A and B are shown apart, each in its own frame.
Chain A
Amino acid sequence: MSELDLVDGWVEPELAEEFPQLSLVHARVEVHPGPSPREVKQRLRMLADRYTGGKVVHMRQDPVPWAYRVFSRQVGIDPDTDRTPVEGVALRRLKHGGLRSENVVDDALTIAIAETGVPLIALDAECVDGDLGLRLARSGETLGDARPLSARQLVIADGQRPVAVVLGEVGEDAGVTPTTERMILCALGVKGVPRISLEEALWCAAETLYT
């Protein structure tokens, strides 16, 4: 696999002032969406075997998942209701008795999130216009065509519009589809999460995609 070109996204000054260590690191990767190869499914199975009830309960005290729980709380989300991505993966594992394979992109994200605890999203590079960054939603803005955003909501945006909600869903007009050829992997950094964890998450996902 060739080197990943990691790019730091911009952060709106008001947001950076409130959360000085908030960051968005992203990288462009080639992708061929489709079913996961056998190696990726095998890796998901091995990952699922590492989860136990006790581990999931105590996960919230591990430094990286804890940092995202705190950030969720600080932006008004209850992390026990709207789970952070890594806790979401763990809960899915407990509910279904395993981590089901969906497609290579989702599986790569699941593996990277579970391994590093860092939330990742994937965007279709062709649907992103300009540099990516973090900002507050403006009055009347929507995610995609239909999903209204509340004022001052934290979003990941390109030069034109919001493409995803922070720790939330991706806009339907910016997400990866079966026809996507190039995508952008984005990792969200918060206080208490070292940059190397973000890089590791992006590398982990990219590596899985190229398996």
Chain B
Amino acid sequence: MPDVLDRTVGPFALAPTTVPDERAARRTLLDQVARLESELSQLFCSTWPRTHMPRPQVAGRGGGPRLLSLEELEELRDELAGRVADARRALSDRTWVEEQNRRLIEEMLLEPERHKWVRVSHEDIGEPGCKHWHVRPRWSFIGMLMGWWRVVISSGCPLAT
């Protein structure tokens, strides 16, 4: 037994003599890339019309359109998966903040005196447009002194100049 364990073999004695077929692996990787690209597109569309969201970009491999090697396909798949996860996390964080802002608007409308000068815009709740809710005193200083607060809703975007 020790003879067998100790037997030395040449460096290439155990190397396979056939080249492994990459086809199945390549097909799987291409399918995964397609699915991840689809998810990335969906996430990108979900972020619209929000601005200031990180753009999940995956750089090209360089060299124009070409048949990528197995390693490059794996790298591409991993990078896409990373970007999809990042984008999903960023969107989730953002929608959580927007939900809090929606709740804040409801609280402002119910009890304006407890949210003096608070202002929430459409952008803060992930909607397009320039509308905003602003807690302001009724009749300026008199309202401030008397505690008469109300929510003023803007009428929209200013006209383009």
Contact = CB atoms under 8 A, between A and B. Distances in A.
A72 B57 CA distance: 14
Given A70-B33, A76-B60, A136 B41 contact: no
A76 B66 contact: yes
A162 B146 CA distance: 81
A75 B68 contact: yes
B65 interface: yes
A73 B61 CA distance: 9
A166 interface: yes
A140 to B, nearest CB: 15
Contacts of B41: 60-61, 66, 69
Contacts of A167: 65
Contacts of A70: 33-34, 37-38
A58 interface: yes
Contacts of A153: 63-66
Contacts of A80: 55, 57
Contact of A154 (B23, B45, B48, B65): B65
B76 interface: yes
B26 interface: yes
Interface in A39-93: 53-54, 57-58, 60-61, 66, 69-70, 72-78, 80-82
A165 interface: yes
Nearest to B58: A78
Contacts of B38: 66, 70
Interface in B68-93: 68, 72, 76, 80
Contact of B26 (A18, A60, A77): A18
A77 B72 CA distance: 12
A76 B62 contact: yes
A150 B67 contact: no
Contact of B59 (A74, A78, A136, A152): A78
Contacts of B60: 76-78, 81-82
Contacts of B55: 80
B65 A73 contact: no
A33 interface: no
Contact of B34 (A18, A74, A152, A168): A74
A150 B37 contact: no
A58 to B, nearest CB: 5
Contacts of B59: 78, 81
Given A18-B26, A76-B76, A165 B37 contact: no
B109 interface: no
Interface string A1-37: 0000000000000110110000000000000000000
A70 B36 CA distance: 9
B44 interface: yes
A57 B48 contact: yes
A15 B67 CA distance: 8
6 contacts: A73-B34, A75-B67, A76-B64, A77-B61, A152-B66, A154-B64
Given A82-B60, A154-B64, 11 more contacts: A54-B48, A58-B45, A66-B38, A70-B33, A72-B65, A73-B37, A76-B62, A78-B59, A136-B67, A150-B63, A167-B65
